[in-house]
């Protein structure tokens, strides 16, 4: 049996977990292609955006991260399932026997006017850096009289875990900046806008209510049943007619699979590619789709959510099925094991729940969140560094977060 070449596009949770398992199979050669030579730990992106963590803490060099796996930095622009190759932006062509598409998701604006131009996304290190710079620069510009004081309002759109986490973190950042900007700090505020009837719609109603209460304790104004109509440079217009002047708008309202794969096959909600029970693209049996890019609907129901645990389980499952192919064994259908979900709201404020009915709120949920996130960070160094930074943030809170550099 000749060796099998597996090309993985995307070095995120799904792609890397697939690679880690695949490299254990001696018949398989693994190549990972990604635009960045680092793995981004996106669940903590909001902490970089609000200055609680330095950006290096949530990025891990991907070259040599998995011994025996080849890394190619590049942007895949086309996939040709017939010819069994992919083409990179620079013209390079990489052929494959099996292809794993694990390119995650991108922010989507739902076509709402002005969002593209005026809201800040939350998907990449560059996005987080832009948010942090905007937040801190706004204080400087207001202090210097170059921006109106209303600019100190931050609007976060989207009441899912990301929106809740950003809102809480921005409120805590604002509280820590009172000492540095005593004359203007009282004008700083956060408004969280959610189109649906409650925050954290994938959680129980009890957890939703708890999250709202906790955010309000932090000073966040929560507006549910409130959709955004359009955005301008200096303000957000809501469907209710209300106008919110704001210097920073963070868009956490929705993500979708990258547009460039839409013609590879049938797509479900959010442009996600529909996959079969084994996680393959129907009609292209050598193409596997995993993570946020894939729409896998157990028992014909709604597709699994676009979260890291789903991505990691899909990655490992695709790797096991490809190993089965390479070694002449039988493939197995994918089953998702739901271990629960959690969202953090602020220091010692979080919600967590499991399908078995366990509900944690407040400090216990927050500690669980802390432990899990440190455990899943790649690289001992990043773990140590994040722990040290958090210890400082949470124990010596009065000193304020690290966020000195604005350029």
Stretch that binds a copy of itself, among 70-78, 93-101, 150-158, 287-295 (CB under 8 A): 70-78
Stretch that binds a copy of itself, among 60-68, 260-268, 292-300, 352-360 (CB under 8 A): 60-68
Stretch that binds a copy of itself, among 223-231, 236-244, 255-263, 388-396 (CB under 8 A): 388-396
Q: Tell me 327's DSSP state.
A: T
8 Å CB contact between 71 and 84: no
Nearer to a copy of itself, 122 or 220 (CB): 122
Torsion 279-254-71-86 (CA) sign: positive
Whole-angstrom Cα distance, residue 144 to residue 248? 17
**Structure token digits, residue 402:** 């690290």
Stretch that binds a copy of itself, among 75-83, 225-233, 283-291, 396-404 (CB under 8 A): 396-404
Return the ∠ at Cα 171 (arms to 167 and 175), rounded to 5°: 170
Q: Which residue has the tokens 């922010």?
A: 107
Strands 153-157 and 189-193, bridge-based pairing: parallel
Q: Which of 144, 328, 337, 356 is close enough to bind a copy of itself by CB under 8 A? A: 144
Q: Which of 196, 245, 258, 379 is close enough to bind a copy of itself by CB under 8 A? A: 379
Tell the smallest beta-carbon distance from residue 61 to a copy of itself (Å).
5
Burial class (CB in 10 A: 0-12, 13-18, 19+), 297: middle
Nearer to a copy of itself, 144 or 263 (CB): 144
Rg (CA), the chain: 22
Our finding on whether 37 is near a copy of itself (CB under 8 A) is yes
8 Å CB contact between 173 and 51: yes
Task: Determine which one of 165, 194, 214, 353 is catalytic.
Answer: 165
Our finding on whether 186 is near a copy of itself (CB under 8 A) is no
Task: Report the greatest alpha carbon distance in the chain.
Answer: 74
**Structure token digits, residue 372:** 């899990």
Q: Tell me 267's DSSP state.
A: B
Q: Which helix (H) or strand (E) holds 171?
A: helix 161-176
Stretch that binds a copy of itself, among 174-182, 245-253, 294-302, 368-376 (CB under 8 A): 174-182
Tell the smallest beta-carbon distance from residue 188 to a copy of itself (Å).
15
**Structure token digits, residue 115:** 């969002």
Tell the smallest beta-carbon distance from residue 60 to a copy of itself (Å).
6
Nearer to a copy of itself, 332 or 381 (CB): 381
Our finding on whether 70 is near a copy of itself (CB under 8 A) is no
Nearer to a copy of itself, 74 or 160 (CB): 74
Tell the smallest beta-carbon distance from residue 38 to a copy of itself (Å).
4
8 Å CB contact between 251 and 121: yes
- Spatial neighbors of 49 by CB under 8 A, at least 6 apart, are 122, 127, 128, 129, 131, 132, 135, 166, 169, 250
Our finding on whether 20 is near a copy of itself (CB under 8 A) is no
- 165 an active-site residue? yes
Per-residue contact track with a copy of itself, 215 to 254, x per CB under 8 A?
A: ----------------------------------------
Our finding on whether 362 is near a copy of itself (CB under 8 A) is no
φ/ψ (deg, to 5) at 167: -60, -45
Q: Tell me 76's DSSP state.
A: E
Our finding on whether 388 is near a copy of itself (CB under 8 A) is yes
Our finding on whether 126 is near a copy of itself (CB under 8 A) is yes
Contacts to a copy of itself by CB under 8 A: 36-38, 54-57, 59-61, 63-64, 72-74, 125-126, 140, 143-144, 179-181, 379-382, 384-385, 388-389, 392, 396, 399-400, 402-407
Could you give the residue numbers annotated as active site?
165
């Amino acid at each position: 049996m000749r060796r099998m070449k597996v090309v993985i596009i995307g070095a995120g949770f799904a792609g890397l977990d697939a690679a880690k398992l695949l490299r254990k199979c001696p018949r398989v050669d693994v190549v990972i292609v990604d635009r960045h030579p680092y793995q981004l730990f996106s669940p903590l992106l909001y902490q970089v955006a609000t200055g609680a963590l330095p950006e290096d803490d949530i990025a891990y060099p991907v070259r040599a991260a998995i011994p025996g796996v080849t890394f190619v930095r590049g942007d895949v622009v086309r996939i040709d399932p017939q010819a069994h190759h992919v083409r990179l932006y620079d013209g390079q062509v990489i052929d494959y026997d099996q292809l794993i598409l694990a390119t995650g998701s991108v922010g989507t604006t739902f076509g709402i006017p002005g969002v593209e131009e005026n809201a800040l996304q939350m998907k990449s290190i560059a996005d987080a850096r832009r948010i942090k710079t905007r937040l801190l620069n706004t204080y400087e510009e207001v202090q210097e009289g170059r921006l109106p004081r209303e600019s100190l309002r931050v609007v976060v759109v989207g009441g899912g875990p990301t929106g809740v986490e950003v809102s809480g973190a921005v409120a805590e950042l604002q509280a820590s900046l009172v000492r540095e900007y005593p004359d203007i700090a009282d004008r700083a505020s956060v408004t969280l806008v959610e189109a649906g009837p409650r925050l954290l719609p994938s959680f129980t109603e009890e957890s939703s209510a708890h999250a709202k209460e906790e955010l309000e304790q932090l000073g966040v104004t929560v507006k549910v049943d409130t959709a955004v109509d359009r955005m301008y440079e200096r303000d957000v217009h809501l469907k209710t007619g209300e106008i919110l002047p704001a210097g920073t708008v963070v868009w956490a309202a929705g993500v979708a699979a990258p547009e460039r794969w839409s013609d590879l096959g049938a797509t479900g909600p959010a442009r996600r590619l529909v996959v079969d029970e084994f996680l393959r693209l129907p009609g292209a049996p050598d193409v596997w789709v995993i993570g946020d890019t894939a729409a896998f609907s157990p028992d014909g129901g709604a597709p699994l959510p676009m979260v890291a645990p789903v991505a990691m389980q899909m990655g490992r499952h695709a790797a096991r099925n490809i190993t089965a192919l390479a070694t002449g064994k039988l493939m197995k259908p994918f089953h998702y094991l739901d271990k629960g979900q959690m969202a953090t709201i602020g220091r010692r404020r979080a919600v967590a729940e499991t399908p078995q009915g366990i509900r944690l709120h407040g400090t216990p949920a927050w500690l669980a969140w802390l432990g899990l996130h440190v455990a899943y960070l790649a690289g001992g160094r990043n773990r140590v560094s994040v722990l040290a930074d958090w210890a400082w943030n949470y124990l010596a809170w009065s000193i304020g977060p690290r966020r000195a550099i604005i350029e």
